[in-house]
Structure formats: structure tokens, C-alpha cells
Amino acid sequence: MGLFSFLIRELAIDLGTANTIIMENDKIVVDEPSIIARDLKSGKMVAIGRKAQQMHGRTHDNIITIRPLKDGVIADFEATEEMIRGMINMSRKKGQIFSPSLRVVVGIPSGSTEVERRAVRNSAEHCGAKEVYLIYEPMAAAVGIGLDVEAPEGNMVIDIGGGTSEIAVISLGGIVAHKSIRVAGDEFTSDIREHMRKVHNIRIFERTAEEIKKNVGSALASLDNPPPDYVVRGPHQMTALPVEIPVTYQEVAQSLDKSIVKIESAVMEVLENTPPELYADIYKNGINLTGGGALLRGLDKRLSEKTKLPVRVAEDPLHAVAHGTFISLKNVDKFPFLMRS
């Protein structure tokens, strides 16, 4: 680009079910929840990201909150375009009048269909992107945590996001074996809500379930450094009277067990489909855990016990995909695994 670099803005977008992250010039310029609020009368977007999340569950009849992505893919095309456009505008420098053309790389689930990939491309193009590249999330996560993805060596990544869990074995710049399942952070939240309803007869909303997950979420019923109980307040289902329930990490671990078993099964399936030479590399190098789900207490230990392989949580698991997407953006001519529209 050189002399005319100011004519092009390069953005790396991690378009997540729970959060959308945009990077520019090696900096995170947007890190917001993937949600918008819309006025039903005018049809206009009234809030985006964190502001819209604060409205979630608190709106009146004239305002609706929308999460445009579900299970890692676009569920509402119009809302997705509004959200991406709004977040790109948020990332612009104040006072910037000139709008340069956009070159973007977007992370997508490895199990995306051609229709789903086209939907992401179209959304980015409608927001003004002249060049759109796509990268599979486990590949982006591997690049983001510093793995040499082009080496003739097997590396395994488990990326647990909001909508999907991506498990992949990577070698020579390609994905050798992979599995993408729609069991991840959102499913954990749903499990906790269901547990509170069934066991404690208390109705809670998504945000409260998220707080429970952050404060006492666990994959194991026995932890070396257990968190203190988390007190939940809400209406009793039968009487509608306010109740106060202390929630333990053990009962959260029990409520998440079925979902974690599904992730374990997917991991074992990928390992079964891994060529022996690459399996030997994984035995030596271990498994890398990224995504928001990697922060669930005891998950690395549980997966290690299941696979009998070392499992380590990445240094910055929440931003691994975003960092990898940005590095790929800077190497569009070198990385053969980038998909161009």
C-alpha cells in the first residue's frame, strides 16, 4: 500500500455470538456485546453493544433488543449489518470526515456452510468493505496464541465461544481434523437458568445466569481454590415473592455437566480422526484452550483427565481469535488458508 495506505482501513473482526471485537493497527478498538436495541415504531437502531445489553430484559413494548447472531452464525441479516456498521463507526477516530475503503478479515466457525459464509461476506460488503477475507476461528485462535500453523507439526486448539465450540487439529497451514458443535457459553447460561428454575423455583434472566457463570461457574465439583457462594435474588415461581438463594460452584458444575460431556465427546472424536503422526505431536505439545469458555474453572483439568493429554489455557483466551484475525490481515498474501470473497 505504501503512499496510499491512508486510503484503506484494515480491520480484523471477530464476529462472535456473545461479543464482537474489532482490531485496527494492532489495537482493540471495539469490544462490545453482540446486541442491538431497535425502536419498533420507527424501525431505527437506538443502541448498540454495551448500551443495548443494559436494556436487555428491561425494555418497554416500543423497544426490542436483538442478538443478531445465534450459534456462531447470522440469524438476523438486517440486524447484523446494522450492528457491524455501527461498530465500525464506533471504531472511527473522532472528527474523521474522510471514509477510506475497508479491507476486513472476519473469523467464522469451522463448521460454517457456504450459505453462512456468503451471509458474512455480504454483511461486510454492505457495510462498505471492498475486500473481505474469511478465516476459520480455530485457525485464527492458533495464529493468535503464537502457534506456527504452517509448520509440518500437529497442533490442537479448542476454542469455546458464545455460540460454538470449535475443535481442530492444524498442520501445514490447514485444518486436518475438526468438529464444530453448537454447545458453548450460551448453552452454559441456558443450563444455569434451567437449574435455578427446577431446583430453586426461581426465575432468572440471562444476565443473572451470566453473573452466576462468572462468579461460581465450574466444570469440576471439587476445586483446589473454590469461589465463595454467589447470592441470587429474584421472584419465586409459585408465589412471586422475592427470594434469596446462595448458589455453590458444585451445583453449577452439576448443571453444566451434560453440556461439557458433549464437548468432551467432540474432542475425543477429533482425536480419533487425527493421523498417528500428528497425534504424537499433540501428545508432545498438548492441547490449547481458547475462547471465553476457557475461563470456566477446572475445564482444562477436566479435559486433561478425559484425554490423558496436557491441556493449557491460552494467556488471553478471550482475544485469541481477534489477535489471530489481525495477524492474518497483515499476511493476506502469505497465508493460504484465508478465504477471499
| In the chain, domain spans | 154-183+259-317, 185-255
Q: What is the mean pLDDT of residues 39-50?
A: 92
Q: What is the pLDDT of residue 5?
A: 53
Cβ atoms 274, 133 nearer than 8 A: no
**Residues in CB range of 288: below 8 A, 6 or more apart:** 141, 142, 145, 147, 155, 156, 157, 158, 312, 314
The pLDDT of residue 97 is: 57
SS3 110: coil
User: How many angstroms separate the CA atoms of 121 and 225, rounded?
Assistant: 45
CATH 3.30.420.40 fits 154-183+259-317, yes or no: yes
Share of the chain above pLDDT 70, in %: 96
Q: Parallel, antiparallel, or unpaired for β 242-247 and 63-66? A: unpaired
> What is the structure's pLDDT at 95?
54
Mean pLDDT value across residues 4-23:
86
| pTM (two decimals) | 0.91
**What distance in Å separates the CA atoms of residue 203 and residue 231, rounded to the nearest whole number?**
14
**Is 246's pLDDT higher than 90?**
yes
Superfamily of segment(s) 185-255 = ATPase, substrate binding domain, subdomain 4 (3.90.640.10)
Closest CA to 278 of 143, 148, 149, 152: 152
pLDDT at 226: 96
Mean pLDDT of the chain: 92
Q: How confident is the model at residue 155 (pLDDT cuts 50, 70, 90)?
A: very high
Give pLDDT, residue 19.
94
Q: Supply the pLDDT for residue 7.
A: 72
Q: pLDDT by residue (tens digit) across 285-319?
A: 999 999 999 999 999 999 999 999 999 999 999 99
